[in-house]
Structure 1
Amino acid sequence: MDKIVMGKALGAWGVRCEKIRDDLLPAGSPERCMGRSVVEGVDGALFLLERIDEATASRKREMARLMKALSEGGLPVAAPLESKAGETLVSEGECLWQLTPFVQGVPLERPLYTKQPWRGEALAHFLLGMRRLSGSFDSSLLGEPFDLPAYIDTLTRTLEKHEPKAAEALAEATAYLKLRLYPYWKSLPVALAHGDVHGINILWEEKGIASVIDWEFFGRKPLLYDVANMVGCCGIETPDALLKGLAPTLIRFLKQSDFADDTSWNLLPEIVIALRYAWLSEWLRKDDAEMINLELSYIYLLIDNREKLVKSWGL
């Protein structure tokens, strides 16, 4: 990125760049902006400066509003900073810019992190805090509840046209979900969800959470949406993580805290399975044959071991 333009953009926040910290790698997906750099101010403070696609500006402003409220509510969320003019997006050099405090978590050892129960308890506290604040957001910000069955149907129709082998491999799993999840989806209670909770979207401290990042998919979703995504991501790292460590600790802690209703808990295995379709779509987009095959096998492992999982999770 152009250093002169970056310097002018930083001036909108009253920040003077001492140096660009190329030695620091920002966490999260680089695909969610057009470019990013860690910059150090003259006082030693670190910031993440991102160049934002105009097409995503509206969503980025919504995210900033949400993240600010969550941060002010006491949750570990590094919200985008407001400029001296009170804006979270600044135009400079025919680009839009966003500035966020830079948070660096401790390195995440994979798959070891999935075996550590304290992480499940830390995430449970975060999700409980988010639930506490959920009712303070109006529906215009959170949007319509996400229709995962409709997403799966659209994906499978696309696969039938362009990836018939994958569609055929998924047929039994899709039939299972149509029977076991589809009839109940729209009646499940919903609340604010992050929408993409997994180990890498959490910046960890030694025994806690420093910040939760990448909020692009936030919105109203079933109560256990974030739980199911995290559990599924632990299991894809190593299947025995479904039975011990972070995932079962997260489930048991939230179950004891009355986080969700009985119907939602009863459908947790099916929600985990359904969310793997979104991950499968990502591997297909990247043409990652190894992950596609792994994901297909994983979906059926989850189905075949449903009752074992339910027993282990205390459901």
Structure 2
Amino acid sequence: MPHRLLELLPRFGLEPGRPAPEHSLPGSPQRCIERFALADAQGRPWMLERIRPEAAPRRERLGALLRTLAREPGLDGVIPAYLPVGGAGPECGPGSGADGRTGVEPGSQPGGERFVLRLPVEDLAGEALAGCWMLSPFVSGPALPQPGYLDHAWRGAALAGCILALQRAGAALPALPLAPQSSLSAFRDDFFRKILVHAPDLAPRLAAVQQALDALEQAVEAMPAALAHGDLHPLNVIWGREGARPVHGLIDWEFAGARPRLYDAANALGCAGFEHPSGLGRGFALGLVRGLRQGGIPEPELRLLPLFALFTRLGWLSEWLRAGDAELLALELDYLDILLAEREALAGLWSAGA
């Protein structure tokens, strides 16, 4: 099968090379049907995804968004943008040229491009290649040291820079794209309704969380909207090394769109604390909030970060419930208790810009 997949590379304007199983693909494999590492004739590695047909319309919009973002200051070189069908060269990725671009005129804008290759069964004589396909650069970097990264303020500062650059890029768009589940209050209400139906024994344990989030709702709904990655956490970053190029790429963009502007930061901080609760007051977290403060995020908004991080953990708790993972569920519930107990102390620490 991987050798047959090479037949798809010319559809994206690339000369086929070979299967490249030596590359371990980062990110969440659950977001597509299957995915493969391939190399073109120049040896450049790519990630080929077969996506679900029902996801194709949103993935088309995502492809156009990422291709635009890949040209923006502060984001050029860290967005592994999908290649358009027909091929216009890679937007970024190792070996794609001195400026990270190939086959695209500087300053040109995408228009009328398609990013999902749709192949009916009869197109290539068989079912092996039928379906919907997308191709993006494979981005590599050193493995994230866990939990060692919690002491790395430079990683937090770099991520703050990406968040702020993404917000600036979003402000330049004609309109912010809608995010999946864009209403936070609707998500919260749906979450607690489902808890009552499917896990009623957890309702008493989560009562204090629900009450705390009631106080958060009005403030968050009034927060300015901004373009967000939607699932930004340390494992969705392809890291470089401390210095000139700390971030090689941001991956797993399926939840990108307009959200309250602290959404990405809250999710990243929440994940750092789940790695170990002490991480909430260590290098990574402090570097992140310091970068946000220096980037102009006002103190009253930064004070909301602990409760906002608490909110983002509802999605993770849902994951553990769906997976039936009792160990992670227990850890998550204990972590929610910690976030509740420490929220005022964290609000003071983080709003000061550490």
- Whether TM exceeds 0.5 here: the answer is yes
Q: How many angstroms apart in 1 are the aligned matches of 2:118 and 2:56?
A: 11
Change (3 A) 1:91 1:183: closer
Cα deviation per residue 1:148-199 (whole Å; 9 max; x = unaligned)? 2221111111111111112221112111211x21232321111101111101
Q: How do residues 208-223 of structure 1 correspond to structure 2 at under 5 angstroms?
A: 208-223=246-261
- Say whether the 8 Å CA contact 1:203–1:210 is kept in structure 2: yes
Match in the other structure for 1:227:
265
What letter corresponds to residue 245 of structure 1 in structure 2?
G
Match in the other structure for 1:12:
11
**Match 1:82 to one of 75, 84, 93:** 84
Q: How many angstroms apart in 2 are the aligned matches of 1:277 and 1:255?
A: 26
1:150 aligns with 2:186: yes
Q: How many angstroms apart in 1 are the aligned matches of 2:271 and 2:180?
A: 25
Match in the other structure for 1:297:
334
Q: Displacement, 1:263?
A: 3.7
Higher deviation after alignment, 130-139 or 275-284: 130-139
1:59 aligns with 2:96: no
Q: Displacement, 1:110?
A: 0.8
Q: How do residues 68-217 of structure 1 correspond to structure 2 at under 5 angstroms?
A: 68-74=67-73, 75=75, 76-84=78-86, 86-92=113-119, 93-139=129-175, 141-142=177-178, 146-178=182-214, 180-207=215-242, 208-217=246-255
| Number of equivalent positions | 312
Structure 1 residue matching 2:12: 3-state secondary structure? coil
Change (3 A) 1:292 1:68: same
Structure 1 residue matching 2:291: 3-state secondary structure? helix
Cα deviation per residue 1:266-307 (whole Å; 9 max; x = unaligned)? 211110111111110111111111111111111110110112
- Say whether the 8 Å CA contact 1:47–1:99 is kept in structure 2: yes
Q: Displacement, 1:215?
A: 0.6
Q: How many angstroms apart in 2 are the aligned matches of 1:256 and 1:12?
A: 45
Q: How many angstroms apart in 2 are the aligned matches of 1:168 and 1:10?
A: 54
Structure 2 residue matching 1:210: 3-state secondary structure? strand
- Say whether the 8 Å CA contact 1:36–1:48 is kept in structure 2: yes
TM-score normalized with structure 2 length = 0.84
Structure 2 residue matching 1:27: 3-state secondary structure? coil
Cα deviation per residue 1:242-285 (whole Å; 9 max; x = unaligned)? 11111111101211221x34442221111011111111011111
Q: For the aligned residues, what is the CA RMSD?
A: 1.7
Match in the other structure for 2:303:
266
What letter corresponds to residue 136 of structure 1 in structure 2?
A
Higher deviation after alignment, 42-51 or 143-152: 143-152
Q: How many angstroms apart in 1 are the aligned matches of 2:161 and 2:299?
A: 20
TM-score normalized with structure 1 length = 0.94
- Say whether the 8 Å CA contact 1:145–1:219 is kept in structure 2: no
Higher deviation after alignment, 223-232 or 6-15: 6-15
Q: How many angstroms apart in 2 are the aligned matches of 1:90 and 1:129?
A: 30
Cα deviation per residue 1:126-150 (whole Å; 9 max; x = unaligned)? 1121121111223363359822222
Q: How many angstroms apart in 1 are the aligned matches of 2:322 and 2:57?
A: 25
Q: Displacement, 1:66?
A: 1.2
- Say whether the 8 Å CA contact 1:231–1:247 is kept in structure 2: yes
Q: Which runs of 5+ in 1 are unaligned?
A: none
- Say whether the 8 Å CA contact 2:181–2:187 is kept in structure 1: no
